[in-house]
Amino acid sequence: MTYRMVDLIQKKRDGEILDKAEINWMIESYVTGAVPDYQMSAFAMATYFKGMTSEEIADLTMAMVKTGEQIDLSDIPGIKVDKHSTGGVGDKVSIILVPLVASFGVPVAKMSGRGLGHTGGTLDKLESIPGYRIEYSIEEFKAQVRDIGLSIIGQSDDLVKADKLLYALRDVTGTVDQIPLIASSIMSKKIASGADAILLDVTVGNGAFMKNIDDARILARTMVDLGNAVGRKTVAVITNMNQPLGYAVGNHNEIAEAVEVLTGGSTKEFRTYIAVLAQIMLQLAGVEKTTEEIIANFDNGQAYEKLMEMIAAQGGDASNISEPLQTKYIVEITADQHGFIEKLGAMDVGLVAMKLGAGRATKADSIDFQAGINLHAKIGDAVSPTDVIATLYSNQPIGDALIAEFKSAVNIGSEQKEYKEILEIIR
């Protein structure tokens, strides 16, 4: 049956529900060019104000999945798991988590993306390793997961074509922050990627896309329901992004921090946080481990060995992976009073890192893998005057304005605040 796009726009504008056939026609017609951008923009805005039912979101997601390649991982033994984060500052979690989970014999097949707006994405961090190849054919990707149990590559251009078109449109029409469209965008790519089970890391706070816990909870629940409805075991974790994750913000230095964690270093709190995420992914694959058993794979080197296997398999040279940042300009930021760190704004720190060269303001920008920020104190830590709380690295001069911008991200007060990384788990 042929529909008219104007009728579907009017239905959604009036708060009516679209059926599966209407949604399938709309998405297919948009990808083929029969529905123009201006009509899809009108539909996105109508959806922004009127929302969608859970059934509509599921139909939209699956309609988008059908517009591109769908990866079949069924010939790889075991339950394949995947992980997705809605983004943050200092988020090197995948680089630690993927080899950690794989070290227990659970295959992890992950397609990832690049960063835009502040610090780099997972792919940018991995490309700071000389020679690391992110562009794989699907057959190469599957062969590596089959052979060594893990791979992180760039997302295929043939995956979910509707999402690429629709996201670019939403980006310029003020309809990005709309939960049904966010959920269908994320889950269409995860479903098309072929994993049997998915862990979703939904970040919330200053450095995250979702700014309040209520919206994060709705998004997490929507995506969990979507995944489970189409036969993908899905769990979401709502995590705190009011300060950067870990102590490194950048690219090469985040890889170095990932190696530190994988070899038994870093703080107990950060290792435990990663272990809880790993525990959920392992449970999704039917493997029950305590967090203590999981942390043991940091200390015994098994998780680190899986990272080294993946880097070698993808052509990377890990010989200088843990070296400190080396830039022309280095500035130490010191505390200006006694007290405790009460605020360390993640987004503000991320924007400073971008201006140092560690991220992109536009897609055309290049990244300096050596630029970045190393934090030496975080929320709850006691500081005194002259204590170094952060070090900025750049190959461009670091002016007073940028130093002041970083300092404005930090509040030192008299109250020692607790900081909790995992806020909720939604199953």
Strand order in the sheet with 339-344: 382-383, 339-344, 410-413
3-state secondary structure of 95: helix
Please, are residues 100 and 294 in contact by the beta-carbon 8 Å criterion?
Answer: yes
What is 147-163 written as a DSSP string?
HHSEEEEEPPTTS-HHH
Cα atoms found within 13 Å of the Cα of residue 212, Cβ hemisphere only: 2
- At 115, give phi and psi (nearest 5°): -90, 155
Q: Using CA atoms, how far apart are residues 105 and 95, in angstroms rounded to an integer? A: 17
Q: Using CA atoms, how far apart are residues 85 and 208, in angstroms rounded to an integer? A: 10
3-state secondary structure of 317: coil
Cα atoms found within 13 Å of the Cα of residue 169, Cβ hemisphere only: 21
Chain Cα centroid distance, residue 416: 29
- For 292, the token pair is 């203590």
Annotated catalytic residues are: 84, 163, 170, 185, 189
